[in-house]
Amino acid sequence: MSDVTTFAAEESHAVVDSPLARSRRTTELTLVFMAALITGAAYTITALGTNAEIPPGIVVFVAILLGLLLCAHVMVRLVARGADGTLLPLAALLHGVGFVMITRLDDELAGLQATWSLVAIGAFVLTLLVVQRATDLARYSWLFFFGGAFLLLLPLAPGLGVNINGARIWVSVGPINFQPGEFAKIALAIFFASYLADRRELIAASTWRVGPFHLPEPRYIAPIVMAWGFAVVVMVFQRDLGSSLLFFALFVVMMWVATERISYLLIGTVLFGAAAYFSWTQFGHVQTRVDVWLDPWQDPLDRGYQIIQALYGLADGGLTGTGLGRGNPGQVPEAQNDFIFAAIGEEWGLIGASAVLMAFILLVGAGLRTALRTDRTFEKLLAVGLTTIVGIQGFIIIAGVIKVVPLTGITLPFVSYGGSSLVANYVLLALLIRLSDSSARRLGELPDEPTPTERWKAWRLSRHIRRADRHGSSVEGST
Amino acid sequence: MNRQIRQLAVGLMACYVVLFVALNYWQVGRKQELDARFDNTRQVLREFNKPRGPIITADGQVAAVSFPTAPGEPYNFRREYPTGDLLADITGYYTFAFGSTQVERLYGDVLTGSTTEQQVRGLGDLLGGDVGTTGTVELAVRKDAQEVAKFLLGGRTGSITVIEPSTGAIRAMYSNPTFDPNTFVNADFEIAQQAITDLQNADGNPLLAQAYQERYMPGSTFKVITTGIALESGILSLDNTFPNEREWVPPQTNDPIQNYNGSLCGGDLATVFARSCNIPFAQLATLLGPEAMVDGTAAWGIGEELPIDLPRPAASTFGNTTNLAQELPLLAIRGFGQSEVQMVPLHMAMVAGTVANGGQMMKPYAVQATYDQAGRVLDRTEPEVWKTPLSPANAGIMTQLMIGVAERGTASCCIALEGGIPVAAKTGTAQLGDPNNPDLSHAWIIAFAPADNPQYAVSVVLTDVQSTPDVAVTGGRLAGPLAKGMLDYLLTGAGSQPIAPQPQPPTPPAGSTIPGSTVAGDGT
């Protein structure tokens, strides 16, 4: 009995020092400062470029910016100090660049986005606090499945769903509009990681064959077929091509990584291709998107206007950009939203836009490095899934804006205006940081300390034991 | 699984490399082609959203100025013209969708500070804390003179132009009909489009600065040029006399040329010039012959666009000259400013100025200086001689002839200046012979004063007057008071009091001021 007490007492002691974790946090703090510096400077220069005066609220702006980022950083330091040091600064940089651009485009939206930034950092902190062990998530996988499905289908509910710009992906409750799909993709990624981690051997083992394809037991692939169904529902009923493509890419990539069989990638691509072709033949809005992609100049004042203006903006920006605040990105409809990358390309030039691309590549790299480092299948798959969401979503919208693929309305993670998107992406970031921290602890880079909940449980247990000792009754009896 | 994750990393990296390549393709590879596309308004818009300096008049009044707009407006600045339509012919307008004209167009780079010199100076000033490089354009035109001109015209169609003979500085240049740029420069696209279309379709083309962008038949004012050519060629002197005749048949025809109203007219050069007989000048033109007349008019700048510092100036014309040797009657008629001869009103002011300036015709200019954002001079217009059609001696003779017109000739009714300041003038009445409107005439006068020390040369044309046999109009009686009002104001400050538009005098006989003649021939 006294052994247990000693152990608990030791554990409640100060945090054990770890050079690796410390250096990562120092890196993170330095990079966060640099992200804040870049954001603050860009904010000032943009205001100078727009109306030749230093913004009056610059000190307050930088103070709030630093306050928020430091808040996030301190939380990482407290509860995930072994995590990769680049994830948070990269997100902060993208978020900052996006915010400066939104401020430049629309003051009113900037105010809203500032509020959403507050909420997003709050969600980030909350996620880190609630999800103390990545493996905890696997326990609720079916909850995430149904929750994700519910969120995904919510906009189709009469009275709740709202059609905006032709896509039914919004839910309106009272004064609040949000896009539940942004959260659904995280929930479904968690479900898939858990499901595939449990059954990957079963799915990989093909027990029957159709033509040249070896297929697993139907019951094992049923949820995956359902997921494909979700993607089709999103495409057909919500008319949201981008999200549909994103969901599908997410499922297919996770299947492929989990089963280590390239055939899933191929089958998935063929299935999506078939669905896409079908919708192209059946739906006018899909045909419009494809026509505009092939030749926006056939209808330059209406359907092709947005993409043409985006390309003119990019061309006007050229290599070095028109200068912050010196371009006319407002010419592009929805520049603060789907087309924010075009606005950045116009004012920050090829150099600035490439920096944004680099930030995404680095973010993806950090996410996949986490997936490589961890030894648990669930965490590996979850890291892959979350990283794929950010990487593919960024690619889909940027490629749409610069006419590489047909345009599909979807937000640019961390950069675009939009509360749901920002909050969801910060939750995603928190999960990646949690995964990164878990893997670092398991690799022994820092001691695997108990989480606050575990400490609390241990403390409670020790209290019971002490009481039991004092009262002479058994431990079991008092719990 | 790690192999797949690495492959995924490579795949996603490849996706972003594709994006990078595409970005290069649009931002560098096809930049020039996209920038040059006709529907690409980026460059225009950027130009439009630059701060723009003011245009001020020679007497320090603001003619055009920009104000920043409230946030959220489509453009960063509003362009306003505090003088309304008063200086629209000079400043022009500056719009996003419909381009810009006049000074706004020609001096756009100075106003926005885009000239190399302003950029370099702005760079230096940045260290001192000054931001912005916008320039200021100072007109040679005086707002007060412009107001008097507008007042004198009193809504009648026509123009008044005042230049400084020794420099070519345009001190006033106002024409009716005109327009107020404020009505459309800051308006929404559709409203602005409607306003501009209406102005384009309106009678008399208000958007045009008629004083320098339009030309009119000059009538007898052209006799200044014919006389000048004859004097320069040596075939004419003050001693020449012309027979007193009613009509004269030029070569190659049987149709006689008549004086105004078929009157009897003749005498020495001073008399026929003052009375504005037609036949002597028809004879002079015929005597000089086609070649000398064409060369002579070219020496006065006829056939060339006026060298003014404003866009799209008109060129005066002596008409089609290819076959003139076989059309001597036409040459004879053109000798007194009829037929195909057409003169720009500003050019006629310059003709008066040439006589006043000892025979040198100065280049006219509407902008006298430009300044950078700190008020330092960027450029000051240096007076330049354009043509020298008269020797100083002949300019002296011409001055005497024109003083005669003012003192005892066709302008004596109406041009005598306040305080007895000597003035020189020449009138003109051009009958257009328009079959649809047979009585339509232009009433002209050109003048300069003081005749012994010329400071201002003026041309006045009223383009929309009706001359019937009952109520004949003449340049002297209709346009004369306007020239007098202009010169009085400029020389003595008088004349700023209202002058009622001249009603048609109840009865001619025009030219009755000349004793011994029934009618002063004034134009055909």
List, in sequence order, every residue forming a beta bridge with B158; answer none if it has no partner. Answer: B176, B462
Quick check: is B281 in a domain? yes
Residue A217 burial class via C-beta count within 10 angstroms: exposed 0-12, middle 13-18, buried 19 and up: middle
Task: Supply A219's token pair.
Answer: 């019951």
Q: Give the global pTM.
A: 0.66
Q: Among the listed ranges A234-238, B50-54, B379-383, which one has the minimum average pLDDT value? A: A234-238
Question: Residue A4's pLDDT band (boundaries 50, 70, 90)?
Answer: very low
> Whats the size of chain A, residue-wise?
479
Q: Mutate one of A257, A307, A339 to test the B interface: name it (highest B CB count within 10 A).
A: A257
- Answer yes or no: is pLDDT of B509 > 70: no
Cβ pair A260:B4 closer than 8 A: yes
Question: Residue B501's pLDDT band (boundaries 50, 70, 90)?
Answer: very low
| Spatial separation of the C-alpha atoms in residues A72 and A239, rounded to whole Å | 36
Task: Supply A163's token pair.
Answer: 């059609």
Quick check: is B516 in a domain? no
Q: H or E segment at B245?
A: strand B241-245
With H, G, I as helix, E, B as strand and everything else as coil, classify residue A329. Answer: helix
With beta carbons under 8 A apart, name residues in chain A contacting B15.
391-392, 395, 399
| Spatial separation of the C-alpha atoms in residues B49 and B79, rounded to whole Å | 11
Quick check: is B432 in a domain? yes
Task: Supply A194's token pair.
Answer: 């858990």
Cβ pair B39:A399 closer than 8 A: no
Write the CATH number for B307.
3.40.710.10
| Spatial separation of the C-alpha atoms in residues B222 and B217, rounded to whole Å | 9
With beta carbons under 8 A apart, name residues in chain A contacting B14.
none
| Spatial separation of the C-alpha atoms in residues B380 and B476, rounded to whole Å | 37
- Which range is most confident: A327-331, B314-318, B338-342? B314-318
Q: B126-166 pLDDT, tens per residue? A: 555 555 678 899 999 999 999 999 999 998 999 999 999 99
Of B430, B508, B506, the closest CA to residue B463 belongs to B430
Cβ pair A311:B46 closer than 8 A: no
Amino acid, res. A76: V
Helix crossing, A58-79 with A19-51: angle to 10°?
160
Residue A16: predicted pLDDT: 65
Residues ≥6 apart with Cβ < 8 Å to A425: A91, A120, A182, A390, A413, A414
Cβ pair B23:A331 closer than 8 A: no
Q: B218-236 pLDDT, tens per residue? A: 999 999 999 999 999 999 9
Angle (nearest 5°) at CA B381 between B378 and B387: 155
Q: A351-407 pLDDT, tens per residue? A: 999 999 999 999 999 999 999 988 888 999 999 999 999 999 999 999 999 989 888
Quick check: is B412 in a domain? yes
With beta carbons under 8 A apart, name residues in chain A contacting B40.
312, 315-316
| Spatial separation of the C-alpha atoms in residues A429 and A120, rounded to whole Å | 10
- Percentage above 70 pLDDT, chain B: 91
With H, G, I as helix, E, B as strand and everything else as coil, classify residue A52. Answer: coil
Q: A74-88 pLDDT, tens per residue? A: 999 888 888 888 999
| Spatial separation of the C-alpha atoms in residues B275 and B471, rounded to whole Å | 19
Nearest CA in chain B to A342: B23
Task: Supply B119's token pair.
Answer: 């950029």
Residue A23 burial class via C-beta count within 10 angstroms: exposed 0-12, middle 13-18, buried 19 and up: exposed
| Spatial separation of the C-alpha atoms in residues B269 and B259, rounded to whole Å | 15
Quick check: is B411 in a domain? yes
Of A406, A297, A305, A401, the closest CA to residue A356 belongs to A401
In angstroms, what separates the C-alpha of B22 from chain A's closest C-alpha?
7
With beta carbons under 8 A apart, name residues in chain B contacting A372.
2, 5-6
- Answer yes or no: is pLDDT of A9 > 50: no
With beta carbons under 8 A apart, name residues in chain B contacting A377.
1
Residues 243-272 on A with a CB inside 8 Å of B are 253, 256-258, 260
With beta carbons under 8 A apart, name residues in chain B contacting A325.
none
Task: Supply A246's token pair.
Answer: 């994103």
In angstroms, what separates the C-alpha of B189 from chain A's closest C-alpha?
15
- Percentage above 90 pLDDT, chain B: 52
Quick check: is B17 in a domain? no
Cβ pair A315:B20 closer than 8 A: no
Nearest CA in chain B to A311: B26
Helix crossing, A377-401 with A241-259: angle to 10°?
150
Residue A212: predicted pLDDT: 67
Cβ pair B13:A361 closer than 8 A: yes
- Answer yes or no: is pLDDT of A327 > 90: no
- Answer yes or no: is pLDDT of A302 > 70: yes
| Spatial separation of the C-alpha atoms in residues B35 and B42, rounded to whole Å | 8
Mean pLDDT, rounded, for A46-54: 77
- Answer yes or no: is pLDDT of B508 > 50: no
Residue B465 burial class via C-beta count within 10 angstroms: exposed 0-12, middle 13-18, buried 19 and up: buried
Nearest CA in chain A to B19: A399
In angstroms, what separates the C-alpha of B355 from chain A's closest C-alpha?
52
Quick check: is B142 in a domain? no
| Spatial separation of the C-alpha atoms in residues B369 and B75, rounded to whole Å | 29
Count of the separate structural domains present in chain B: 1
Cis ω before B243 (30° cut-off from 0): no
Residue B122: predicted pLDDT: 73
Residue A58: predicted pLDDT: 85
With beta carbons under 8 A apart, name residues in chain A contacting B31.
315, 318
Q: A250-262 pLDDT, tens per residue? A: 888 988 898 888 8
Dihedral angle at the C-alpha atoms of B184, B202, B200, B317, nearest 10 degrees? -130
| Spatial separation of the C-alpha atoms in residues B45 and B47, rounded to whole Å | 5
Residue B28: which of A107, A318, A384 has the nearest Cβ? A318
Cβ pair A361:B31 closer than 8 A: no
Cβ pair A300:B72 closer than 8 A: no
With beta carbons under 8 A apart, name residues in chain A contacting B77.
none
Decide if A455 touches B, using CB distance below 8 A: no
Of B473, B374, B408, B454, the closest CA to residue B135 belongs to B374
Question: Structural domain of residue B259, as residue ranges?
Answer: 213-366+383-492
Decide if A367 touches B, using CB distance below 8 A: no
What residue has token string 């009433």? B443
Q: Establish how many alpha carbons lie within 13 A of residue A150's alpha carbon, considering only the half-sphere containing its beta carbon.
A: 6
Task: Tell me the C-alpha to C-alpha distance, in Å, between residue A15 and each of A76, A83, A311, A321, A335.
Answer: 14, 16, 53, 48, 47
Question: Residue B515's pLDDT band (boundaries 50, 70, 90)?
Answer: very low
What is the interface size between A and B, counted as CB pairs within 8 Å? 130
Residue B109: predicted pLDDT: 86
In contact, B425 and B450? CB cutoff 8 Å? no
With beta carbons under 8 A apart, name residues in chain A contacting B16.
357, 360-361, 364, 395
With beta carbons under 8 A apart, name residues in chain B contacting A316.
34-35, 40, 42-43, 46
| Spatial separation of the C-alpha atoms in residues B214 and A127, rounded to whole Å | 77
List, in sequence order, every residue forming a beta bridge with B172; answer none if it has no partner. Answer: B162
Decide if A3 touches B, using CB distance below 8 A: no
Nearest CA in chain B to A396: B15
- Answer yes or no: is pLDDT of A473 > 70: no
Task: Tell me the C-alpha to C-alpha distance, in Å, between residue B245 and each of B241, B248, B263, B408.
Answer: 12, 7, 8, 21
Residues ≥6 apart with Cβ < 8 Å to B113: B50, B51, B53, B119, B122, B132, B133, B134, B135, B372, B373
Task: Supply A63's token pair.
Answer: 């103070």
In contact, B137 and B323? CB cutoff 8 Å? no
| Spatial separation of the C-alpha atoms in residues A347 and A47, rounded to whole Å | 13
Quick check: is B301 in a domain? yes
Cβ pair A51:B72 closer than 8 A: no
Of A374, A398, A381, A386, the closest CA to residue A427 belongs to A386
Nearest CA in chain A to B44: A328
| Spatial separation of the C-alpha atoms in residues B31 and B333, rounded to whole Å | 60
Residue B46: which of A322, A357, A381 has the nearest Cβ? A322
Residue B222: predicted pLDDT: 94
In contact, A430 and A127? CB cutoff 8 Å? yes
- Percentage above 70 pLDDT, chain A: 91
Q: Mutate one of A201, A261, A311 to test the B interface: name it (highest B CB count within 10 A).
A: A311
In contact, A309 and A332? CB cutoff 8 Å? yes
List, in sequence order, every residue forming a beta bridge with B456; answer none if it has no partner. Answer: B449
Question: Residue B497's pLDDT band (boundaries 50, 70, 90)?
Answer: very low
| Spatial separation of the C-alpha atoms in residues B49 and B102, rounded to whole Å | 19
With beta carbons under 8 A apart, name residues in chain B contacting A397.
none
With beta carbons under 8 A apart, name residues in chain B contacting A388.
8, 12
> Using alpha carbons only, how large is chain A's radius of gyration in Å?
24
Of B360, B321, B325, the closest CA to residue B341 belongs to B321
Decide if A398 touches B, using CB distance below 8 A: yes
Q: B340-364 pLDDT, tens per residue? A: 899 999 999 999 999 999 999 999 9
With beta carbons under 8 A apart, name residues in chain A contacting B132.
52
